[in-house]
Structure 1
Amino acid sequence: MKKWNMVIDVAACTNCNLCTLATMDEYIGNDWSPYAAPMPKHGHKWIRIQQKERGSVPFIDMAYVPAMCNHCDDAPCVQKAENGAVTQREDGIVLIDPDKAKGQKHLVDACPYGHIWWNEELQTPQAWPFDAHLIDQGWKQTRGAQSCPTAAMKVYCLEDAEIQRMVADDGLEVLNPEFGTRPRIWYRNLWRYTTAFIGGSVSAEAGGLVDCVEGAKVTLTKDSAKQAEAVTDIYGDFKFDRLPEDSGAYTVEIEAQGHPKKTVEATLGESVYLGEIRL
């Protein structure tokens, strides 16, 4: 059977928050029971934009990751709910029944991603329901996907084999795979959020002037094993990306014609900018 999935391109998300606002517009003050009770005006973000800053000025980049209920195939909330208050439909959508779930505040802690919210006024847990009330009316996109100006958020209804082919072909990933919940929210270019880089700017002095060194060969090694090579650009910059965070000590070797080899040591926790490296 075909099931609903969402694919989010981290590289295309600009933190405009229109998906968040569209979701608030859909649910605040609107009772879509049994899909969802009204969302409170304050305190809930059923779609939350997680942010990560990598590096340091002037060598810096930002990643934005829209995060929400993952509609997991092995959802802990389904397992821990009482009276069948949380169910997964055959099409993959996980729903919290606002009436059956009343008083079950423990479900907030059941979600390892932190995407179940407690409605204090209604005394019920809530989560983004994949706009199931709209899907059941024939909609092919969620409100958030519909509002995204960069098409970073797309919705697909596919057989499991089809989505797995897309995962393999496009390198899709999920957040926190170690949780083992089998989410249906997938991410493209998630490395921009989960990995680190080592970068620097190479310069040299000649005739009393300091200038950028373009075309220098830069080699990254770890434990004497070469990890990657790069060439400095017109600004003398180089960048080794998609490195595991907290992966420890690296050596950067720089070779440029007419200059002695330069070696710089780097310890990688989060992303590191080595600054100006003078040959």
Structure 2
Amino acid sequence: MSKRGMVIDISRCTACYCCFAACKDEYWDNDYPPYSAPQPKHGQFWINLVKKERGTYPCIKVAYVPVLCMQCDDAPCIKAAKEGAVYRRPDGIVIIDPQKAVGQKKIVDTCPYHVIFWNEEKQLPQKCTFCVHMLEEGKIPKCVQVCPSQALIFGDLDDPKSEVSKLVKSGKAEVFHPEYNIKPNVYYIDLYKMTKLFIAGSAVFKDTDECAENVKVTLEDKQTGETRTTVTNNYGGFEFDGLNVGKYSVKLECDGYAPKIIDVDLKTDSYLGYITLSY
């Protein structure tokens, strides 16, 4: 039996909202028994885009993360539901029974990802089903179909030949909020854009007052001694991303110019501004 899962590439998401619109089109006022009742027109986001803004002017980075039901192996909603109102299919998809779950509002509050919604009219908790009615017809989820940048990758996690399985095993994909410890089956690539910090800056040659291109920049983690190296681009810019809170040093080196070292006590994203290199 297959195990359905998804990998989401944050770097590919352009916030076009095609996934959101397609989900709403598929489920608003449409009934797919025994898996889901019609989604209301407003108030529910079975797939939603969470915006993360990092840094300050003039160095700001923005990323968007599609968030949907994580189809967890250890789903709290299943444990909280009465009379089997929430269950896991053999393929790993978690389903809220649209008949048995009527009146069980407490199911909504069990999800730490906040992706279960309450339908006031139907008195029913609702969420993403991975478009299981489409899977049974040999299709893939609607959000995956419409993503123009192919940021959403769907497949069988138990199939070693599938793309999702390869990405998870490669270590490139990781779960969002592993501290919840509920074994989600939705993974993310480049999650650091939501959870980590960056250090950036711009180098300038003092004698020419021009952007300092191809300057060697070395970042040292003072806690671990680990280093990273890059070179400035044609605008003199450089950056190190995916950093934890801590103490770092940034060293700039270029032939013919004195090296410069800057200590950084990183607590939030840091733009070092223009760094002047002189003889």
Cross-structure match for 2:183: 182
Q: Tell me if structure 1 keeps the 8 A contact 2:156–2:165.
A: no
Quick one: distance in 1 between partners of 2:159 and 2:90?
12
Cross-structure match for 1:211: 210
Q: Kindly report which structure 2 residues correspond to 1:110-189, keeping only aligned pairs within 5 A, or say none.
A: 110-139=110-139, 141-159=140-158, 165-169=166-170, 171-189=172-190
| TM-score, normalization by structure 2 | 0.92
Q: How far has the Cα of 1:15 moved from its partner?
A: 0.3
Per the alignment, in what secondary structure is the counterpart of residue 42 of structure 1? coil
Per the alignment, in what secondary structure is the counterpart of residue 109 of structure 1? helix
Quick one: distance in 2 between partners of 1:267 and 1:137?
55
Quick one: distance in 1 between partners of 2:38 and 2:265?
49
Cross-structure match for 1:191: 192
Cross-structure match for 2:96: 96
Cross-structure match for 1:233: 233
Cross-structure match for 1:22: 22
Q: How many corresponding residue pairs?
A: 274
Cross-structure match for 1:223: 222
Quick one: distance in 1 between partners of 2:165 and 2:141?
21
Quick one: distance in 2 between partners of 1:189 and 1:223?
24
Quick one: distance in 2 between partners of 1:169 and 1:264?
35
Q: Deviations over 1:18-42 (max 9, x none)?
A: 0011000011111223211111111
Q: Tell me if structure 2 keeps the 8 A contact 1:170–1:188.
A: no
Per the alignment, in what secondary structure is the counterpart of residue 193 of structure 1? helix
Quick one: distance in 1 between partners of 2:73 and 2:254?
53
Q: Which runs of 5+ in 2 are unaligned?
A: none
Quick one: distance in 2 between partners of 1:34 and 1:270?
47
Q: Identify the range of structure 1 (170-179 vs 151-160) with the bigger mean alpha-carbon deviation.
A: 151-160
Quick one: distance in 1 between partners of 2:159 and 2:85?
25
RMSD across aligned positions (CA) = 1.8
Amino-acid identity (%): 44
Q: Deviations over 1:52-108 (max 9, x none)?
A: 122233333221110000111111101111110000000111000122111111111
Q: How far has the Cα of 1:226 moved from its partner?
A: 4.3
| TM-score, normalization by structure 1 | 0.92
Q: Tell me if structure 2 keeps the 8 A contact 1:96–1:125.
A: yes
Runs of 4 or more, structure 1, over 4 Å off, are 160-165
Per the alignment, in what secondary structure is the counterpart of residue 63 of structure 1? strand
Q: Deviations over 1:181-206 (max 9, x none)?
A: 11111222222222221110011221
Quick one: distance in 1 between partners of 2:166 and 2:131?
25
Q: Identify the range of structure 1 (160-169 vs 183-192) with the bigger mean alpha-carbon deviation.
A: 160-169
Quick one: distance in 1 between partners of 2:255 and 2:53?
35
Which residue identity lines up with residue 274 of structure 1 in the other structure?
Answer: L
Which residue identity lines up with residue 200 of structure 1 in the other structure?
Answer: G
Indicate which of 246, 267, 273 corresponds to 1:269: 267
